[in-house]
């Protein structure tokens, strides 16, 4: 059998692995590529997925980096079944529609820009209609109930403890009369996460495809998140300012509500400090959580049994309209604002940051992973100025990162989960991680457990033959074109030299023109300094 890595290979996003076995072809996940322009171009190059020839798709969970290309794949001719747990399917309905809406808005914005430059209309990656079409192929599967999409392949969904409905997939594949067991970890949750259960322990596999998002670090101060949140709230409350929390709509927002519920119960959330969930998507997701309370962990179920709703408290408001959202910033006084997107690069959160980032006494609390290239990552990395809606905003608010909310296992938790495997012949493939994190984790796995570890590259194809060495076919050169750094550096040097040569000409200009040139050079200089400080 063969597996081809369509994404989440030496990167975190774009999870999709296409398997071929005994004349069948199917996929695990169908995620969107997120990051810089170069990475996101992969979303448009979906011909290589050969959608019409994918028989079925097994979904680990509803996050966009695992599911965001489903509408595109259906649009391109996929007609098989999409298997996932019932909560995943419900979450997919709202998340894919939201994603399609973002795609449509982006295309509209680009079209306007193009028309101004005499260009043509820009097509969206997919539309809301495409997203609706996906639901026709949904097939619900409960945890721990094996299903057989076709003869010679069974799959069992196990609770991954990552977000509601998230799964680890255990596959049994028979080829040439030999049964192999493959495990796809999906995203492995952090044990002791609020609301949902701990990741299922798996003890055997021949091939394990494991995520490695936190392959090189642990979550610090895991147990203090409730206190850290309480401190941020108390501080901004004293200053009469707001606490802004960029948060993923699904899971993280509900965990935050749970925490705020606990703080309120302990008298640590001021009665006159309103809490706004300002994200229509988060509001819908919270309703889905209520529907699937059966999937909660014992602690959350216990509260419900006592008649205590862990997802609410008196100060809580869900805003619906844009007007309500805008009113949050026009009304002075302390408040907590939970809004999406979680990495602050899209959505309503940008308005709240623009209004509050420059205010001393305000707090911005990060509760999730911030990917490279996002606004969130730049703030967390200590940028002094941030560009929001084409405007530079100074960073004066307290910037706080709370690690205890992560929905991903940290390094030692991944190692512990892996430690349960008893199969001596286990082969590990690290996926879903930045390359440096994967190298660190690979070293650790090798040292502690002695399992062979492979870090597949984008579009690499690997042949798995039970009892034999794996065969790797490297990605074709065009998959990730080599970046010619020598050329880029030389070019930069040349430009600087040309600028120097023009100094005399600049000095001949009038003072106003000279000051204009100086302004532009200083701006370039600032941006270059910011870039250098990030490297």
Structure token pair of residue 107:
């295309």
Site stretch for Zn ion (CB under 5 A), options 87-95, 181-189, 271-279, 291-299: 181-189
**Distance in Å, CB of 388 to Zn ion, minimum:** 26
What distance in Å separates the CA atoms of residue 401 and residue 369, rounded to the nearest whole number?
Answer: 10
Instruction: Say how many Å lie between the first and final Cα of the chain, rounded.
Output: 41
> Judged by CB under 5 A, which of 7, 32, 43, 65 binds Zn ion?
65
Q: Is the CB of 65 or the CB of 241 nearer to Zn ion?
A: 65
**Distance in Å, CB of 343 to Zn ion, minimum:** 13
**Distance in Å, CB of 208 to Zn ion, minimum:** 16
Q: Is the CB of 82 or the CB of 243 nearer to Zn ion?
A: 82
Q: Is the CB of 65 or the CB of 228 nearer to Zn ion?
A: 65
Burial bucket for residue 359 (CB in 10 Å: 0-12, 13-18, 19+)? middle
Angle 268-270-271 from CA coordinates, rounded to 5°: 125
Q: Is 228 helix (H, G, I), strand (E, B) or coil?
A: helix
**Distance in Å, CB of 425 to Zn ion, minimum:** 27
Determine if 29 is a binding residue for Zn ion (CB under 5 A): no
> Judged by CB under 5 A, which of 187, 241, 251, 264 binds Zn ion?
187
Region 247-266 residues binding Zn ion, contact defined as CB under 5 A: none
**Distance in Å, CB of 162 to Zn ion, minimum:** 6
Q: Report how many residues bind Zn ion under the rule CB under 5 A.
A: 3
Site stretch for Zn ion (CB under 5 A), options 171-179, 185-193, 414-422, 493-501: 185-193
Nearest CA to 3 out of 514, 437, 454 is that of 454
Site stretch for Zn ion (CB under 5 A), options 180-188, 266-274, 323-331, 493-501: 180-188
**Distance in Å, CB of 160 to Zn ion, minimum:** 9
Burial bucket for residue 531 (CB in 10 Å: 0-12, 13-18, 19+)? exposed
What distance in Å separates the CA atoms of residue 214 and residue 369, rounded to the nearest whole number?
Answer: 9
Q: Is the CB of 194 or the CB of 243 nearer to Zn ion?
A: 194
Q: Is the CB of 124 or the CB of 215 nearer to Zn ion?
A: 215
133 to 172: interface string for Zn ion, x by CB under 5 A: ----------------------------------------
Number of helices followed by number of strands (H, E) in the chain:
17, 23
Q: Is the CB of 63 or the CB of 351 nearer to Zn ion?
A: 63
**Distance in Å, CB of 484 to Zn ion, minimum:** 31
Burial bucket for residue 113 (CB in 10 Å: 0-12, 13-18, 19+)? exposed
**Distance in Å, CB of 213 to Zn ion, minimum:** 7
Nearest CA to 444 out of 430, 456, 457, 423 is that of 430
What distance in Å separates the CA atoms of residue 457 and residue 496, rounded to the nearest whole number?
Answer: 36
**Distance in Å, CB of 12 to Zn ion, minimum:** 7
What distance in Å separates the CA atoms of residue 438 and residue 485, rounded to the nearest whole number?
Answer: 24
What distance in Å separates the CA atoms of residue 297 and residue 456, rounded to the nearest whole number?
Answer: 35
Q: Is 68 left (phi over 0), alpha (psi -120 to 50) or beta?
A: alpha
Region 225-244 residues binding Zn ion, contact defined as CB under 5 A: none
Q: Is the CB of 237 or the CB of 458 nearer to Zn ion?
A: 458
Handedness of CA 200, 201, 206, 210 (dihedral sign): positive
Distances (CA, A) of 360 to 101, 205, 233: 35, 53, 14
Q: Is the CB of 61 or the CB of 351 nearer to Zn ion?
A: 61
Site stretch for Zn ion (CB under 5 A), options 182-190, 231-239, 349-357, 379-387: 182-190
**Distance in Å, CB of 152 to Zn ion, minimum:** 28
> Judged by CB under 5 A, which of 24, 42, 63, 219 binds Zn ion?
63
Q: Is the CB of 63 or the CB of 398 nearer to Zn ion?
A: 63
Pairing of strands 81-84, 56-58: parallel
**CB neighbours (10 Å) of residue 43?**
20
Q: Which parts of this chain interact with Zn ion (CB under 5 A)?
A: 63, 65, 187
């Amino acid at each position: 059998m063969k597996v081809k890595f369509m994404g989440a290979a030496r990167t975190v996003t774009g999870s999709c692995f296409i398997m071929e076995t005994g004349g069948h072809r199917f996929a695990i996940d169908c995620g969107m590529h997120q990051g810089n322009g170069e990475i996101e171009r992969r979303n448009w190059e979906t011909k290589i997925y050969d959608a019409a020839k994918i028989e079925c798709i097994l979904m680990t969970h509803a996050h966009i980096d695992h599911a965001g290309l489903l509408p595109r794949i259906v649009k391109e001719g996929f007609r098989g079944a999409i298997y996932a747990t019932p909560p995943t399917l419900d979450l997919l309905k709202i998340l894919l529609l939201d994603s399609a809406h973002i795609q449509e808005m982006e295309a509209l914005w680009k079209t306007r820009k193009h028309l101004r430059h005499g260009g043509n209309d820009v097509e969206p990656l997919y539309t809301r209609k495409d997203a609706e079409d996906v639901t026709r192929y949904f097939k619900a599967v409960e945890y721990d109930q094996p299903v057989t999409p076709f003869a010679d392949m069974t799959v069992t969904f196990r609770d991954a403890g990552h977000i509601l409905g998230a799964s680890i997939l255990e596959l049994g594949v028979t080829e040439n009369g030999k049964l192999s067991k493959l495990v796809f970890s999906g995203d492995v949750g952090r044990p002791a996460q609020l609301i949902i259960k701990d990741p299922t322990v798996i003890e055997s596999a021949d091939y394990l495809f494991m995520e490695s998002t936190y392959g090189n670090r642990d979550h610090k101060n895991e147990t203090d998140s409730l206190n850290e949140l309480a401190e941020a709230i108390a501080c901004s409350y004293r200053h009469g300012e707001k606490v802004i929390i960029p948060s993923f709509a699904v899971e993280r927002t509900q965990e935050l509500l749970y925490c705020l519920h606990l703080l309120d119960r302990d008298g640590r959330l001021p009665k006159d400090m309103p809490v706004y969930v300002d994200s229509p998507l988060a509001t819908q997701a919270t309703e889905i959580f209520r529907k699937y309370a059966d999937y909660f962990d014992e602690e959350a179920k216990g509260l419900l049994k006592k008649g205590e709703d862990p997802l609410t408290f008196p100060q809580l408001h869900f805003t619906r309209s844009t007007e309500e959202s805008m009113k949050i910033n026009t009304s002075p006084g302390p408040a907590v604002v939970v809004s999406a997107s979680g990495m602050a690069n899209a959505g309503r959160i940008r308005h709240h940051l623009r209004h509050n980032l420059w205010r001393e006494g305000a707090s911005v609390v990060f509760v999730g992973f911030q990917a490279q290239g996002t606004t969130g990552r730049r703030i967390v990395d200590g940028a002094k100025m941030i560009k929001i809606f084409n405007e530079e905003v100074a960073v004066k608010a307290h910037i706080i990162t709370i690690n205890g909310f992560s929905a991903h296992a940290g390094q030692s938790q991944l190692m512990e989960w892996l430690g349960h495997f008893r199969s001596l012949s286990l082969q590990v493939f690290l996926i879903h991680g930045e390359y440096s994190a994967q190298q660190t984790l690979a070293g650790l796995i090798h040292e502690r457990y002695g399992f062979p570890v492979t870090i597949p590259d984008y579009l690499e194809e690997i042949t798995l033959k039970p009892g034999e060495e794996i065969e790797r076919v490297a990605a074709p050169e065009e998959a990730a074109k080599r970046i010619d750094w020598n050329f880029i550096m030389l070019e930069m040097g040349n430009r600087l030299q040309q600028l120097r040569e023009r100094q005399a000409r600049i000095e001949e200009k009038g003072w106003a023109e000279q000051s204009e040139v100086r302004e532009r050079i200083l701006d370039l200089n600032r941006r270059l300094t910011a870039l250098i400080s990030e490297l």
